[in-house]
A and B are shown apart, each in its own frame.
Chain A
Amino acid sequence: MITPVPMCRVTLALLTEDLVQAGLVLGRFSCFAPQPEAREKALPEVPLADYRERFEQARTRLLKICRFLEVPPEADTIPERAPTLKALQQLDAWLEEIWNHCSCCEENLRRNQEALREVRQLQKLLHSYRQLDVDLGLLQRDLRFLRVRLGTVPRQNLGRLREAVALAGFSLTRFANLEDRAQVVVAGLKRKVEQLETVLRAADFRELTLPEAFSDHPAQVEASLRERERRLHRERQHLEQEIRERREQHGERLREVAGQLTAASGFAGFGDAPSSRGGLARVSGWIPATELENLRQALDQALPHPVFLEARPPRREEYSQVPSNLRHGSWLQPFAALVRNYGIPRYRELDPTWFLAVSFSILFGMMFGDLGHGLLIALGGWLLGYRLPLARPLLVAAGISSMLFGLLYGSLFGYEGLIPALWLSPLEDPVRMLKVAFAWGVFFILLATLFRIRNDLAEGDWQSALFDGHGLAGLTLYLALLTAGWQWSSGGSLTRWHLASLALPLAAILIWKWRRLDAPPGERLLVVAIEGFETFMNYVSNTLSFLRVAAFGLNHVALALAVFALADRMQTTGHWITVILGNLFIVLMEGAIVVIQVLRLEYYEGFSRFFRGDGRPFQPLRLTLDGGRP
């Protein structure tokens, strides 16, 4: 297709109670893109808001549970009927119960992890204290006047906490570091302890609880800590066992619920499109015109009550809203991706994917013509395609084109003369190469300008088609420029006819720009003068830009000569190693540069002339639990 698929605007009028089922049908249908409408007085309500809210809650809970239990949130089967609100509420209540258990389990896991971390800190602490030879028992005794606290704080809080506790007469001493936390002792008068508590809490102070015999029997302490660690590991195993059991217990039911929710997801995918009043609802959207009858049949079969379907082609003023449904064969996909990288075609615009595919291949071949290098690229693309399927068609097309031009240039792995040139070797006649590149540029720009005129006419903007710098006036100006340039370069002088053919289209462009611009006269004059000059210069510079096609063709040969010059300085082995590495370098480095140059020509010299790229992609409603609008 060289334009997006023709679309129909459809409006479904149905009973509000059937909306959810309609969502399921349209989701399965996968060809309906909902379109929100301004709410009318007749249908001011948002239908089934409760349902949507409940669905969203249940969906989120399901995904959280599935993530925690490591169950893929996928349905085995999607039921034929979407769940009712009551059924959805029951599902959600069940999911809430399960999630509460899971959340509790997740929290316990987290606490277990914290406790384990604390035990490891204590083990390090014990190690530190052994070295310090301090009576640890002192830290645990309930002293009459002194309050001693042992714990950890984030290292970044240390300085400020030390200053803060000093205000309450306490001292803070760090004695060890563990990851991002510092182990500290806080000591001070007992009567001021109340002032201490709040600041310790704010500073994320975590008390280290010492085992009773910490000071007296280090071996026992170590054993006690190991025992605590073992207990925590056992607890963790229990928790993990619990998770496994829940997975086994609920796995099947979760998949069933996923199916139910997937069936309800079509309605959620409507977004703001439906409107209603009481029991009547309406939803509008876009479908490919060819699918209209299929949609009608699907709805009639699946909905319990009648549905009124109104369809019409899009109106001109709606063109900007109509999504562009582009269909490409698999081999065009990489080129379509390059087009999408620039923008999405408008509904009535030409889809430039074909144009890009053909011109990209030709330009690449002209700039990188070599039978051997092309073969490497094509083979590489074919093999790489097993890992990167999208790259295969692009590389194979570029490789084949390179091979064909290699035959025309008589170039094989940089060697000129090994095979006869069907046309000419670039270095034999560089001027001819430049002329061909220039002619190719002229053809490219003329074609792009014609595309622009066609796009403007298709959108009903005939003024732009006639008078814009990229329209008919621009085309005439360009042809006049070419003719005048030809005359001048052939040694002739410019006639009145030449001058008139330049002045008239330029005047038309300037007048049109003047009329379009809404600004004070001075600013208008300035803008029109600059834009007029820019239009003129753009044609010249864009055409000259194509001389790079010849330049890169010559560069390719010159680079190969440089490789051979280097290789010739070596002995036999070195010679062939240099030739092989040099050829690889040419294929990889020069190949990449040529691709960039070709894309630059396509985007700036081609697309910018005729392709606005601000269309909307066609995103039909689908049954999915991923949450985003389909």
Chain B
Amino acid sequence: MTTRAGRDAFLDTRASLFAIRLLRREQRLALVERPLEELPPLLRQAGLETLVEAMPADTAALEQRLASVLVRESEQLFHAVDAVARDFLRHWLRRLELINLKLLLRARLAGHEPVRTRGLLLDLGSLTTLPVESLLQAESAEELLRQLERTPYATMARQARKAYQEGADLFAAEATLDAHYYHQLVHQARRLPGRAGQQVRNLLGAWLDQVNLVSLLRFRVHYRLEAPHAYFLLAPGGHLLPPSLLQQLAQRTSLPEMLTLLPATLQVLLEGADTVGKVEQRMIARVRRQARLLLRRRNPGLARAFAWLYLREQQLQLVHTVLKGHLLGLEPELIRFCADPLANLEVGPAEEEVTS
């Protein structure tokens, strides 16, 4: 039987080995700048040999290949953690399944054929909990939600069904799914014990701050949702944005008004950000910085593993953007334009220490 110390050492080693696959800033920039034929060494460095051996034929295949990499690596992490941590990490990755679920909902409403929808779904291997085939064959949104009520998404499905039935509104159903996801995620994170749990919650809190602020801006400024509704859809458990502040923010209707209410740290960070997109980029950079710091060697294995998972997802997203650009035959300038925010996000001085 594996002892806790043994498991921690294993997890720590695993996180260190995985950290080597994270590209440094200059490598990320090179990934964006270089032509396709010069990318293999960088892809190898990022642990993506499968892409070097055979480049996917289309963007859907590329997306699937990257998702499979993430699933495979996550499974390796799961072996090294206990049940509580595994539940948390699994729930974190459930966002990928949520993408599938939303796609299924949209496809059902748009009346797309199952064959067409099946091609767009990500195969999540062992992380799959949705009965994809039977959901694909559902002939109405009600039937799909009825089937969902027999899955781990039952509670989400019941609420989404209510939101859908009363407004036949896809946004309401999807927002309800998201809100429920965040709620569960925070609940799982609270169960993590000790210093590792605290550090995981800190990083998660920073991420939820980003999610909440950006969502609130979108809900209020772009979608014009009512303040109570916008507030209700936010995630609980942010770090710098407590509920009382979010309530105040929810009552504002413009970006500058909201920025003035933010704590000083965030005001400095977001100074001059005049669009929701810019706010999002800077908030992501803040989370990344925190994740990089957490990945340092002296932190507990679980916190490092979670930080790695976050950074890995970001990096796979960068690879996806760059390769998709090449697959679609986009001009280098356009690829750079799309991928630069992901590659060039402001990073702290800790970055080089972590991966070196």
Interfacial residues, chain A to chain B (CB-CB below 8 A):
53, 56-57, 60-61, 64, 96, 99-100, 103, 106-107, 110, 154, 156-157, 160-161, 163-168, 194-196, 198-199, 201-204, 206, 627
Q: What is the interface of chain A mostly: helix, strand, loop, or mixed?
A: helix
The answer to whether the Cβ of B352 comes within 8 Å of any Cβ in the partner chain is: no
- Contact between B247 and A166 (Cβ–Cβ < 8 Å)? yes
A60 to B142, CA, bound (A): 17
- Set of chain A residues within 8 Å of B231, measured between Cβ atoms: 160, 163-164, 167, 199
Q: Is there an interface contact between B247 and A163, defined as CB atoms closer than 8 Å?
A: yes
Residue in B closest to A53 when the chains form the complex, CB atoms: B115
Are A103 and B140 touching (Cβ within 8 A)?
yes
Q: How far is the CB of B244 from chain A (nearest CB, A)?
A: 9
Contact of A202 among B114, B158, B175, B227 (CB under 8 A): B175
Q: Which residue numbers of B lie inside 8 Å of A, CB to CB?
A: 113-115, 133-134, 137, 139-140, 142-143, 146, 155, 158-159, 162-163, 166-167, 172, 175-176, 179, 183, 225-229, 231-233, 236, 243, 247, 250-251
Q: For residue B179, which residues in chain A have a CB less than 8 angstroms away from its CB?
A: 202
Closest to A64 in B: B137
Whole-angstrom distance from the CB of B54 to the nearest CB of chain A? 15
Nearest chain A CB to B341's CB is how many angstroms away? 31
Asked if B228 contacts A167 (CB within 8 A), the reply is yes
- Extra 19 A-B pairs, beta carbons < 8 Å, given A168-B228, A198-B225, A199-B229: A53-B115, A103-B142, A107-B146, A110-B146, A154-B159, A161-B232, A163-B231, A163-B243, A164-B232, A167-B247, A195-B227, A195-B229, A198-B226, A198-B229, A199-B226, A199-B232, A201-B163, A206-B162, A627-B133
* B137 with A202: CB separation less than 8 A: no
Give chain A residues whose Cβ lies under 8 Å from the Cβ of B146: 106-107, 110
Instruction: Tell me whether B159 and A204 are in contact (CB under 8 A).
Output: yes
Least CB distance from B117 to A in Å reads 13
Known contacts A154-B155, A167-B247; A194/B228 CB under 8 A = no
Chain A residue, CB-CB nearest to B113: A53
List 8 contacting pairs A-B, 8 Å CB cutoff, sorted by A: A53-B115, A57-B137, A100-B139, A160-B236, A195-B229, A199-B229, A201-B167, A627-B133
Residues of A within 8 Å of B162, CB to CB, are 201, 204, 206
**Which of A56, A156, A167, A627: most chain B Cβ within 10 A?**
A167
Report the bound CA distance from A202 to B166 in whole Å. 10
Residues in chain A near residue B143, CB distance under 8 A? 103, 106-107
B172 lies within 8 A of A201 (CB): yes
| B37 CB → nearest A CB, Å | 23
How long is the Cα–Cα vector from A196 to B227 in the complex, in angstroms?
Answer: 9
Cβ of B62 to closest chain A Cβ, rounded Å: 21
B226 → chain A closest CB, angstroms: 4
- List B contacts of A196 (CB < 8 A): 228
Looking at chain B's contact residues, the main secondary structure is: helix
Contact yes or no, B163 A103, CB < 8 A: no
* B137 CB contact (under 8 Å) in A60, A100, A107, A164: A60
Question: Could you tell me the distance in whole angstroms from the C-beta of A66 to the nearest C-beta in chain B?
Answer: 14
Contact A204–B172 (Cβ < 8 Å) = no
**Residues of A contacting B140 in the complex (Cβ-Cβ under 8 angstroms):** 103
Contact B226 A99 (CB under 8 A): no
Q: For residue A100, which residues in chain B have a CB less than 8 angstroms away from its CB? A: 139
When distances are taken between beta carbons in the complex, the residues of chain A under 8 Å from B250 are 167
Find chain A residues with CB under 8 A from B175 CB.
Answer: 202
Known: A156-B183, A168-B227. A107 touches B133 (CB 8 A): no
B229 contact from A53, A61, A106, A164, Cβ within 8 A: A164
CA distance A519 to B253 in the complex (A): 63
Which residues of the other chain, A, contact B166 by a CB distance below 8 angstroms? 201
Set A99, A164, A166: member contacting B139, Cβ < 8 A: A99
Report the Cα distance A466→B157, complex, angstroms.
62
Q: Which of B158, B172, B176, B228 contacts A164 (CB 8 A)?
A: B228
Q: How far is the CB of A191 from chain B (nearest CB, A)?
A: 13
Distance to closest chain A CB from B109 (angstroms)? 16
How distant is the Cα of A167 from the Cα of B143 in the complex, in angstroms?
35
Residues of A within 8 A of B114 (CB): 56-57
Q: Which residues of B contact A203 (CB under 8 A)?
A: 159, 232
A395 to B157, CA, bound (A): 49
A518 to chain B, nearest CB (A): 15
Contacts of B225 in A (CB 8 A): 198
**How far apart sit A106 and B144, CA to CA, in the bound complex (Å)?**
12
Q: Complex Cα distance A107/B176, Å?
A: 21
Q: Which residue of B lies closest to A103 (CB)?
A: B143
A99's closest neighbor in chain B, by CB? B139
10 closest residue pairs by CB, A with B: A164-B232, A199-B228, A60-B137, A198-B229, A164-B228, A204-B159, A199-B229, A195-B226, A167-B228, A204-B162
Q: Which residues of chain B are near A156, meaning CB under 8 Å?
A: 155, 183
Kindly state the separation between the CA atoms of A167 and B146 in the bound complex, as whole angstroms: 33
Nearest-Cβ distance from residue B285 to partner chain A, whole angstroms: 28
Q: Could you tell me the distance in whole angstroms from the C-beta of B189 to the nearest C-beta in chain A?
A: 15
User: Nearest-CB distance from B121 to chain A (Å)?
Assistant: 16
A50 nearest CB across to chain B (Å): 11
Closest to B251 in A: A167
In the bound assembly, the distance between CA atoms of A536 and B232 in angstroms comes to 68
Q: Which residues of B contact A199 (CB under 8 A)?
A: 226, 228-229, 231-232
> Distance in Å from the Cβ of B305 to the closest Cβ of chain A?
28
Chain B residues whose C-beta falls within 8 Å of the C-beta of A107 in the assembled complex? 142-143, 146
Chain A residue, CB-CB nearest to B187: A156
Return chain A residues, CB-CB under 8 Å to B243: 163
| Chain B residues in 8 Å Cβ range of A64 | 137
